[in-house]
Amino acid sequence: MSLMSIRHLSRSFGGVHALRDVSLDVPEGIILGLIGPNGAGKTTLINVISGLIAPSSGNLSFDGRDNGPWPMARAVGYGIARTFQQTRVFMGLTVRENLRIAAEAGHGLRQDVAVDPGLDLTPFYDRVAGELPYGVLRRLGMALALAVGPRLLLLDEPAVGLTADEIAGMGRAIRRANDSGLTIILVEHNVRFLMEVAQHVAVMDRGQLLFQGTPAQCQANQAVIDVYLGKGQADAEH
């Protein structure tokens, strides 16, 4: 049963078609990996789903309710939470205050929220976020999204800029969140990381949905290889 359905979604910025007629079903309880080259429209899709921007056309439905596109406030009300590509946390506040704000904002969405779901933030609770290293801020950004107790979590490049150890930790945290029943859409440039974590992969290119399938199917798909390595170069490089 699909938690969210996207139908014929398009969005252009001036003359640039960031999304062209994208349709996608997100089954409940999966980790859906979303990959594609720069400018493929991944972040635009996340922005539309989370209500940060409105699509030019198309519609969305969440949990059987056929009423998208929706503004951000309603998206959060349904239980759609997100992180941002550029780390976004409350920089002037302590980690504890950050988490308290998120937990109070999400109050009533879900009660069984772990405040620190394997993100190792406890040693930093009384530190001001602005003083913390980048890796910790990435984890805090994810912890904020988790603390509101969402049903669908949109992660926009959670592993970007992290060390190998930190990426492994992030992967564990994502899987743990998924094990607790959370549906996740993961946008990621790090293809190896994404293939390890995601159960289902969607590939975008120039605003269009190119391919959907399992990670194994994706890696074997010629169209995907062409997009990633350029036509005719796949053989030369391997």
Partner 1 sequence: MQSRLRCYLVPTAFLAVACAATPFINDYVRYVATLAAIWAVLAVSFDVLLGYTGYLSLAHGALFGVGAYTGGLLTARAGWSFWLALPVCGLVAMAVGIVVALLAFRTKGLYFAVLTLGIGLIGFQMFFVAEDWTGGVVGFVGIPSPPPLPFMSLDAAGNNLVIALLLLWVTYLAAGVFVRSPMGAASLAIREDVVLAQALGIRISAARLTAFAFSAFFAGTAGMLFGAISNFVAPESFAVMTTGFQMVVLVVVGGMGTLWGPILGAILLTTLPETLRVASSYSLLAYGVLLLVFMLFAPKGIAGLLKQAWHARRARQAAVAAPAAQPVTEGVR
Tell me which residues touch partner 1 (CB under 8 A). Answer: 50, 52, 72-73, 76-77, 81-82, 84, 88-93, 97, 100-102, 104-107, 109, 123, 127, 131, 144-145, 148
Pick the closer one to partner 1 by CB: 17 or 100. 100
Nearest distance, CB of residue 88 and partner 1, angstroms: 5
Nearest distance, CB of residue 97 and partner 1, angstroms: 7
Pick the closer one to partner 1 by CB: 17 or 127. 127
Pick the closer one to partner 1 by CB: 14 or 123. 123
Nearest to 75, CA basis, from 32, 106, 100, 31:
106
Nearest distance, CB of residue 107 and partner 1, angstroms: 7
Nearest distance, CB of residue 121 and partner 1, angstroms: 14
Nearest distance, CB of residue 147 and partner 1, angstroms: 8
Pick the closer one to partner 1 by CB: 109 or 168. 109
Pick the closer one to partner 1 by CB: 146 or 201. 146
Measured at the alpha carbon of residue 164, what is the angle toward residues 158 and 170, in degrees to the nearest 5? 35
Neighbours of 144 (CB within 10 A): 23
Pick the closer one to partner 1 by CB: 103 or 229. 103
Measured at the alpha carbon of residue 189, what is the angle toward residues 186 and 194, in degrees to the nearest 5? 50
Nearest distance, CB of residue 141 and partner 1, angstroms: 9
Nearest distance, CB of residue 104 and partner 1, angstroms: 4
HEC letters along the chain: CEEEEEEEEEEEECCEEEEEEEEEEEECCCEEEEECCCCCCHHHHHHHHCCCCCCCEEEEEECCECCCCCCHHHHHHHCEEECCCCCCCCCCCEHHHHHHHHHHHCCCCCCCCCCCCCCCCHHHCCCEHHHCCHHHHHHHHHHHHHHCCCCEEEEECCCCCCCHHHHHHHHHHHHHHHHCCCEEEEECCCHHHHHHHCCEEEEEECCEEEEEECHHHHHHCHHHHHHHHCCCHHHHHC
Pick the closer one to partner 1 by CB: 64 or 77. 77
